[in-house]
Amino acid sequence: MGNTNSLCGSKRFPNYEKAPVGSFGNNSSHDGIKTIETVKNCSFLRKSDLCIRIITWNMNGKVSYEDLVELVGKDRKFDLLVVGLQEAPKTNIAQLLQTALSPTHVLLGKAKLQSIQLYLLGPKNSQTLVKELKAERHSVGGCGGLIGRKKGAVAIRINYDDIIMVFISCHLSAHANKVDKRNEELRHISNSLLSRDKRTRDLTVWLGDLNYRIQDVPNRPVRSLIHNHLQSVLVSKDQLLQEAERGEIFEGYCEGTLGFKPTYKYNVGSSNYDTSHKVRIPAWTDRILYKIQDTENIQATLYSYDSIDQVNGSDHKPVKADLSLKWIDN
């Protein structure tokens, strides 16, 4: 395992420990989000204490069982599956997920705030490993449309086999000019769901439609770069990474390399970017970030970070991350 993975946490950012765990805010000592290269060609075929697959998807108010089957995939070598959804329809998603995963996994917990939802599934007979599970939610307003597109977040805290984890699925305000509002929403959510919980955690994961856009690049050049597989040129213009570099959000967190195409906005039912009258500029709105708190005792390895392009039922593509945690023998 590369040493870069062990840098994701308070050891890398010593001044950050003065703030509440998981909080955001201005800090004179910061390096933004640590970008992690994924370890290729591995499907959890290794010795790890815990293997986690994390998926986020803005569903645009619609779902098909076939899309969910494609979403969870056929490779079930992970221990935990975390599925965060935004703009989810009123359909019983939990039941559909359980049906899709019934041969291998069962539902351990869920959290819902209207269309913002979070599901946690584990291997069959793994309920005995769950020593604590708590679900929470926090709204930041912004409700509209038939499905109630509320902005905010839901969270699940779990002690699974003595590894304490918090997963947060969130949906933040839209539009390129709402950067400060998104930053403020993240602070509100963090203060509500994390800071008041003073207990130690080993892993914190944020996933969702964070809605940060590509800054100061017109639509046509953005699409041209993506078409020519040069989207990496646009990473420096990503608002989320820019705000983290300024020390506003996600200090001490890690994210895989943005090697996949921007996940928003597509024509529903296709892999073609928006051709409606709005002609939205593509952006990496859908993200997964993580932080290891105890870097002296736990090592994290990121085995994949990618979009699931074959799922076409929404104007967003889902994003998937495979993460393994291993206790370090001191």
**Residue 191, domain member (yes or no):** yes
Sheet of strand 80-86, all strands in order from the earlier edge strand to the far edge: 105-113, 116-123, 80-86, 50-58, 319-327, 298-307
Nearest to 322 by CA among 308, 307, 301: 301
**CA dihedral of 253, 256, 262, 263, whole degrees rounded to 10:** -80
Residue 259 forms part of a structural domain: no
**What pLDDT digit, counting tens, does each position of 23-54 carry?**
455 444 456 899 999 986 555 545 568 999 99
Q: How many structural domains does the chain have? A: 1
**Mean predicted lDDT score pLDDT of the chain:** 87
Q: Evaluate whether 187 touches 25 at the Cβ level (below 8 Å).
A: yes
Q: pLDDT digits over 105-144, tens only?
A: 999 999 999 999 999 999 999 999 999 999 999 998 654 4
* Each residue's pLDDT tens digit, 68-113: 999 999 888 899 999 999 999 999 999 999 999 999 999 999 999 9
Q: Residue 153: is it exposed, middle or buried by C-beta count within 10 angstroms (0-12/13-18/19+)?
A: buried
Q: Does the residue 185 lie in any domain?
A: yes
> Residue 248 is encoded by which pair of tokens?
């506003």
Q: Is residue 182 part of a domain?
A: yes
Residue 149 is assigned to a structural domain of this protein:
yes
pLDDT of residue 27: 45
Residue 66 lies in a domain: yes
Give the domain range for residue 150.
50-212+285-327
Least confident of 2-16, 122-136, 145-159, 235-249: 2-16
Element (H, E) at 70: helix 65-72
Question: How far apart are alpha carbons 29 and 251 in whole angstroms?
Answer: 9
More confident residue, 243 or 197: 243
Q: What is the CATH number of the domain that holds 69?
A: 3.60.10.10
What pLDDT is attached to residue 309? Answer: 96
Beta bridge partners of 83: 55, 119
Tens digit of each residue's pLDDT (9 = 90 or more) over 293-305: 888 889 999 999 9
Q: How confident is the model at residue 190 (pLDDT cuts 50, 70, 90)?
A: very high
The pLDDT of residue 82 is 98
In a domain, 180, yes or no: yes
Does 223 score more than 50 pLDDT? Answer: yes
Pairing assessment for the beta strands 163-171 and 151-160 based on DSSP bridges: antiparallel
**Is 29 within a domain?**
no
The pLDDT assigned to 16 comes to 28
